[in-house]
Amino acid sequence: MFPLIIASLIPISCSQSSRNSDSFVISCGLSSNVGTDADGRKWRSDYRFLTSSTNTINSTAQSQDPSLPSQIPYMSARIFTSPTSYKFQVSPTNRLWLRLHFYPSEYSSLLPSQAYFSVSANDLTLLNNFSSFITAKALTQAYFIKEYSLVPIQSGELNITFTPSMQQNGYYAFINGIEIISMPEIFKPAILVPTDQFVDAGNLSMQTMFRLNVGGQYIAPTNDSGRLSRTWYDDTPYLFGAASGITFGADKNVSIQYPFDTPHYIAPLGVYSTARSMGQNASVNQNYNLTWVFHVDPNFTYIVRLHFCELLYTRINQRVFDIYVNNQTAQVTADVIAWAQSKGVPTYKDYATRVNDGPGDEELWVALHPSVSAKPEFYDAILNGLEVFKVSDNSGNLAGPNPIPSNELYENELANKFNPSKINPAPIIGGIAGGAVGVAFVVAVFFVFYRKKKQDYGNEVVANWLPTYGSSHFTNSKSVFSGKSTMGSSNLSYLRQGLCRHFSLQEIIVATKNFNNSQVIGVGGFGNVYKGVIDGGVTKVAIKRSNPSSEQGVMEFQTEIDMLSKLRHKHLVSLIGFCEENGEMILVYDHMANGTLREHLYRSNKPALPWKNRLEICIGAARGLHYLHTGAKFIIIHRDVKTTNILLDDKWVAKVSDFGLSKTGPNLHQTHVSTMVKGSFGYLDPEYFRRQQLTEKSDVYSFGVVLFEVLCARPALDPSLPKEQVSLADWALLCQRQGNLEGIIDPKLRGKINPQCLKKFSETAVKCLADHGAERPSMGDVLWNLEFALQLQENPGEGEHANAIAILDIEEGSTSSTTNELDDSSVVFSQIFEQKGR
Ligand SMILES: *[C@@H]1O[C@H](CO)[C@@H](O)[C@H](O)[C@H]1NC(C)=O
Ligand SMILES: *[C@@H]1O[C@H](CO)[C@@H](O)[C@H](O)[C@H]1NC(C)=O
Ligand SMILES: *[C@@H]1O[C@H](CO)[C@@H](O)[C@H](O)[C@H]1NC(C)=O
Ligand SMILES: *[C@@H]1O[C@H](CO)[C@@H](O)[C@H](O)[C@H]1NC(C)=O
Ligand SMILES: *[C@@H]1O[C@H](CO)[C@@H](O)[C@H](O)[C@H]1NC(C)=O
Ligand SMILES: *[C@@H]1O[C@H](CO)[C@@H](O)[C@H](O)[C@H]1NC(C)=O
Ligand SMILES: *[C@@H]1O[C@H](CO)[C@@H](O)[C@H](O)[C@H]1NC(C)=O
Ligand SMILES: *[C@@H]1O[C@H](CO)[C@@H](O)[C@H](O)[C@H]1NC(C)=O
Ligand SMILES: *[C@@H]1O[C@H](CO)[C@@H](O)[C@H](O)[C@H]1NC(C)=O
Ligand SMILES: *[C@@H]1O[C@H](CO)[C@@H](O)[C@H](O)[C@H]1NC(C)=O
Ligand SMILES: *[C@@H]1O[C@H](CO)[C@@H](O)[C@H](O)[C@H]1NC(C)=O
Ligand SMILES: *[C@@H]1O[C@H](CO)[C@@H](O)[C@H](O)[C@H]1NC(C)=O
């Protein structure tokens, strides 16, 4: 139902592509013969491949989304109003990659929402009733690429036909770019799980659904092996549950040798030299499955390709495991050394599985578990890479239905509960800043929606002001930390004696009036959240009751307590205690009387917050984040900083909520922070997409958006506004450049902000939004500058000298890249100002 697009942007070098008769790199609708993209690659015009020029025009997009990597091929398009074909002469013996590039936008006054069409390649249907507009919306990307692998075309003639849908008048078809690239045959028969039949993948055409470098990092198309220009993504977004094992890389002295039956073009070195395994603790490993979950279209057969390369052990029966595909045993006693003969030798296995169309069947599960019966030396499993391909069905079809864009996410984000009909989706595509092609991100988003749908959240959205970590990896694990693993080290009895309080079930029952529905203030995948009072009515609390469920749940519960109980700070929402009794898993948090920061800014009937309060709240939140980044044992990156995650207690003290946990696993390369792309639109660090690497500067970016939200009292994204204003970050930066920031500040604040204070505040916010993380200040610098802004508000006389220091400080911050260390001067100043300022 949700086709996942594996995108690749920089396939084979231009010289090769233009010379090789089998390779075509075509920019459709290009008005010149040849154009060059941002990577220096040459794209040819599509004219000489068109079989007919009636009912087709070339057109230029009327607007250029900032996230487009290059004007070519995206800004020009070929429009079709009746069925039209391209014809290419191809090698009759080679398998082909076919990549289709789409940028849904307004072309020649045709609306992007009117493009409904099918695409076929000879007899194979690639897309049907396809809306690139809906697809882009669901992916939250301005543009996207679909990748197919076609069996050799014996006639030597590839005919790609675009047919506008006939359902309604005015529907049209379009395409921006086409790549056709010869590839070696990389498929062979695969066992159909759970039968002993085979699927002869070698003579079937496929669509690439997922391609992951398990335990490793993003691999760009230019770094792929065999000039196949594939993109490999980090696997963390697909991991199921908190028990995600550990990642590691090949030791320097392990050299990876491709054997005869696994040529180097099967997968690059980067895939085989990193891996994920279950962890050190045999008893923990026996109690969980290392699991990846993918969302796929039903009614298709899929080829799941697993890449292995043992990096640590050398002998047979050291690491032996079972492989499950869709909960069926695909392989018992997998032993990589037995397959590959030696350490450092790559090998791969293909399994085919059928995904039917029934409730719960749109998922594809891949799970590993130690083979206890084989009595190996280590109860562990390993995986280095994973690919999923959709196989064309008997009728020569690869097309699935259009995805359903996540309304929940969308509405949640806009908080436009009061007038949903006003939401005009059209501008959002153009409006999302910095949304590059990030499949990982796409999936994270998708799961937010999908999980919600599946678990039937009903109409209620999780109470925004509560910490909602835990339960589902996809929706809730927001943060990562590097360093020692906490997995398996939770020890509730230790916590009981320590900071965390242990409640009896009876106490909880009294507090929640026996879990009476009238007390429910939030519903989530993890179960309900209740308000309650403890200590005889003295203390108000929020109580999260987990659904009594799997083993997985228990582990997450323990990890959550373990992590949270170590994070204590005035500006972080804190865990008061827990209850583990009778199979119940219950967490008790501070109650935040004044709700979220957002509801005090706009679209509510609450009185407007005075500027000084707003500043103090920003300072509090900055302190909380600064602590997460530098004060705890691990660097903790929040990943979802936004105004609904900043809560206010009854004294208006800001507390950051929803900071994270769940992600465990030491990394042998301690510098690597594994990324699970996660966050909210409008707040997302553009660099995070580009580099797929997470640093605390991503939080700084999001916090910059929060600062403007506080100043302007409008949402981070508001699609009802004219296009250039949709994204607050873009709009504020534009206004700042034009010297017109005053024009967009909250009308209720006009004339109430001291000009010097406003200058300091907006300079700070602008710095936070710097395109490159290294140019952004650290959270400590931000804190320092906000405190200084507060000073300027209260004592405007405090002149030029101090101001100069502040500017100097923020500029130093900007060059000091991603240091984790507390800037001493900022501590000192923040203390000075705290005493003076309040
Ligand atoms: C290309 O394919 C379409 C549909 O399969 C067919 O109608 C058309 O005649 C073909 N064109 C050529 C030139 O083979
Ligand atoms: C693939 O090969 C098998 C036998 O090798 C044959 O039965 C089948 O028809 C072939 N399928 C296609 C689509 O050519
Ligand atoms: C390709 O790999 C090299 C070395 O591993 C690295 O320096 C380079 O940045 C990579 N290129 C891309 C585009 O990621
Ligand atoms: C190679 O690495 C292994 C551990 O990964 C270590 O035990 C061994 O001593 C190393 N050998 C050399 C020659 O460095
Ligand atoms: C899957 O196939 C079944 C039976 O052929 C059909 O009823 C169902 O609509 C199909 N589902 C999709 C999503 O195409
Ligand atoms: C596999 O099993 C899990 C629970 O054990 C279930 O939630 C999931 O839906 C199953 N997946 C499939 C594809 O049947
Ligand atoms: C692992 O997955 C298999 C197949 O779904 C299932 O039978 C088994 O119970 C799972 N084991 C654990 C510990 O979850
Ligand atoms: C075409 O796609 C749209 C949007 O997903 C859907 O509403 C419509 O029912 C589809 N039409 C057909 C004939 O499948
Ligand atoms: C493994 O984990 C279990 C349960 O968490 C614990 O009791 C045991 O001490 C651990 N073993 C090792 C070797 O760490
Ligand atoms: C948990 O902590 C207690 C007290 O420190 C200790 O006695 C016990 O052995 C620990 N249990 C585990 C499984 O680590
Ligand atoms: C829940 O509370 C309401 C009033 O507070 C009461 O009328 C109702 O009976 C309670 N429900 C249950 C199931 O206890
Ligand atoms: C903030 O909390 C205080 C104390 O609970 C309460 O009196 C006040 O009405 C709240 N303000 C708003 C706007 O909710």
pLDDT digits (tens, 9 = 90+) for 588-597: 888 888 888 9
As annotated, the residues of the chain forming the CATH 2.60.120.430 domain(s) are: 14-183, 190-391
Q: Which of 41, 223, 274 to mutate to test the pocket of ligand 3 (most atoms within 8 A of CB)?
A: 223
The yes-or-no verdict on residue 122 having pLDDT over 90 is yes
Question: 166 φ, ψ to 5°?
Answer: -95, -5
The yes-or-no verdict on residue 552 having pLDDT over 70 is no
CA-nearest of 366, 354, 350 to 393 is 354
Question: CB within 6 Å of ligand 12 — which residues?
Answer: 593-594, 606, 650
Q: Which CATH number fits domain 190-391: 3.40.630.10, 1.10.10.10, 1.10.287.3510, 2.60.120.430?
A: 2.60.120.430
Q: Whose CA is nearest to atom 1 of ligand 8?
A: 129
Task: Pick the catalytic residue from 37, 297, 640, 658.
Answer: 640
Helix residue ranges, H only, 575-716: 611-626, 686-691, 697-712
- Residue 117's SS3 state is strand
* pLDDT range class, residue 826, cuts 50, 70, 90: very low
Structure confidence at residue 517 (pLDDT): 85
How far from each other are the two terminal CA atoms of the chain, in whole angstroms? 56
- Tell the residue number behind the tokens 């001493």, with chain if given: 824
Contact 719, 427 (CB under 8 A): yes
Structure confidence at residue 406 (pLDDT): 57
For the chain, percent of residues with pLDDT exceeding 70: 73
Amino acid at 535: D
The yes-or-no verdict on residue 144 having pLDDT over 80 is yes
pLDDT digits (tens, 9 = 90+) for 736-794: 998 888 889 999 998 899 999 999 999 999 999 998 888 999 999 999 999 999 999 98
What Å distances lie between residue 634 and 20, 203, 480, 506, CA to CA?
51, 50, 9, 36
Catalytic annotation present for 393: no
CA–centroid distance, residue 165 to ligand 8 (Å): 10
**Average predicted confidence (pLDDT) for the chain:** 76
Structure confidence at residue 350 (pLDDT): 95
In the predicted model, what is the mean pLDDT of residues 634-648? 81
Helix (H) or strand (E) holding 374: none
Q: Give the pairing of strands 95-102 and 290-295.
A: unpaired
CA–centroid distance, residue 24 to ligand 2 (Å): 28
Q: Which CATH number fits domain 14-183: 2.60.120.430, 3.20.20.60, 3.30.70.1140, 2.70.70.10?
A: 2.60.120.430
**Of the ranges 398-407, 654-663, 747-756, which is most confident?**
747-756
The yes-or-no verdict on residue 404 having pLDDT over 70 is yes
* pLDDT range class, residue 398, cuts 50, 70, 90: very high
Helix (H) or strand (E) holding 784: helix 779-794
- Residue 247's SS3 state is strand
C-beta 161 within 6 A of ligand 1: yes
Strands (DSSP E) found in 520-667: 520-524, 527-534, 539-545, 575-581, 584-590, 646-648, 654-656
Structure confidence at residue 632 (pLDDT): 63
C-beta 154 within 6 A of ligand 10: no
Structure tokens at 646: 């900043």
Structure tokens at 121: 């390649």
pLDDT digits (tens, 9 = 90+) for 12-43: 333 333 334 468 999 999 988 999 888 778 89
* pLDDT range class, residue 236, cuts 50, 70, 90: confident
578, β-bridge pairs: 502, 587
Angle, alpha carbons 604-610-615 (nearest 5°) = 105
Structure confidence at residue 420 (pLDDT): 31
Structure confidence at residue 418 (pLDDT): 30
598-834 topology per CATH:
Transferase(Phosphotransferase); domain 1 (1.10.510)
Q: Whose CA is nearest to atom 2 of ligand 8?
A: 129
- Which ligand has the shortest distance to the CA of 549? 6
pTM summary value: 0.56
Structure confidence at residue 203 (pLDDT): 87
Q: Give the pairing of strands 206-213 and 233-234.
A: parallel
Contact 531, 542 (CB under 8 A): yes
Angle, alpha carbons 771-772-777 (nearest 5°) = 100
Q: With b meaning 16 or more CB within 10 Å and e meaning fewer, what string describes 503-524?
A: beeebbeebbeebeeebbbbbb
CA–centroid distance, residue 381 to ligand 4 (Å): 21
Lowest pLDDT segment from 232-236, 315-319, 611-615: 232-236
Structure confidence at residue 118 (pLDDT): 96
CA-nearest of 233, 368, 373 to 308 is 368
pLDDT digits (tens, 9 = 90+) for 307-355: 999 999 999 899 999 999 999 999 988 999 999 989 999 999 999 999 9
CA–centroid distance, residue 592 to ligand 12 (Å): 10
C-beta 491 within 6 A of ligand 10: yes
Q: Which of 648, 650, 652, 653 to mutate to test the pocket of ligand 12 (most atoms within 8 A of CB)?
A: 650
How far apart are alpha carbons 716 and 601 in whole angstroms? 12
Contact 99, 166 (CB under 8 A): no
How far apart are alpha carbons 330 and 671 in whole angstroms? 35
Q: SS3 for 722-773, per residue?
A: CHHHCEHHHHHHHHHHCCCHHHHCCHHHCCCCCHHHHHHHHHHHHHHCCCCH
Q: Give the pairing of strands 190-192 and 95-102.
A: unpaired
Contact 212, 388 (CB under 8 A): no
As annotated, the residues of the chain forming the CATH 1.10.510.10 domain(s) are: 598-834
Sign of the C-alpha dihedral, residues 409, 414, 417, 419? negative
Query: Ligand 1 atom closest to Cα of 123?
Result: 5
The yes-or-no verdict on residue 268 having pLDDT over 90 is yes
Q: Which of 512, 513, 514, 533 to mutate to test the pocket of ligand 11 (most atoms within 8 A of CB)?
A: 513
In the predicted model, what is the mean pLDDT of residues 605-626? 92
226 against 785, higher pLDDT:
785
Give 468's DSSP letter: -
How far apart are alpha carbons 710 and 559 in whole angstroms? 34
The yes-or-no verdict on residue 246 having pLDDT over 70 is yes
- Tell the residue number behind the tokens 């085919």, with chain if given: 352
150, β-bridge pairs: 96
Structure tokens at 22: 């089998």
As annotated, the residues of the chain forming the CATH 3.30.200.20 domain(s) are: 493-590
Structure confidence at residue 212 (pLDDT): 94
365, β-bridge pairs: 293
452 labelled ligand-binding: no
What Å distances lie between residue 513 and 40, 275, 534, 581, CA to CA?
67, 49, 11, 17
The yes-or-no verdict on residue 627 having pLDDT over 60 is yes
CA-nearest of 349, 333, 236 to 292 is 236
Structure confidence at residue 229 (pLDDT): 80
Q: Cis peptide before 189, with omega less than 30 degrees from 0?
A: no
Tally of CA atoms within 13 A in the half-sphere of 298 that contains its CB: 8
User: How would CATH label the architecture of 493-590?
Assistant: 2-Layer Sandwich (3.30)
What Å distances lie between residue 549 and 294, 366, 454, 553, 755, CA to CA?
21, 20, 16, 6, 56
What Å distances lie between residue 46 and 32, 73, 177, 435, 685, CA to CA?
10, 11, 9, 28, 36
Q: Whose CA is nearest to atom 10 of ligand 4?
A: 253
Amino acid at 233: Y
292, β-bridge pairs: 239, 366
The yes-or-no verdict on residue 54 having pLDDT over 90 is no
CA–centroid distance, residue 510 to ligand 11 (Å): 13
Q: What is the helix, strand, coil percentage profile of the chain, to 5?
A: 30, 25, 45
Structure tokens at 89: 């002469």
- Which ligand has the shortest distance to the CA of 593? 12
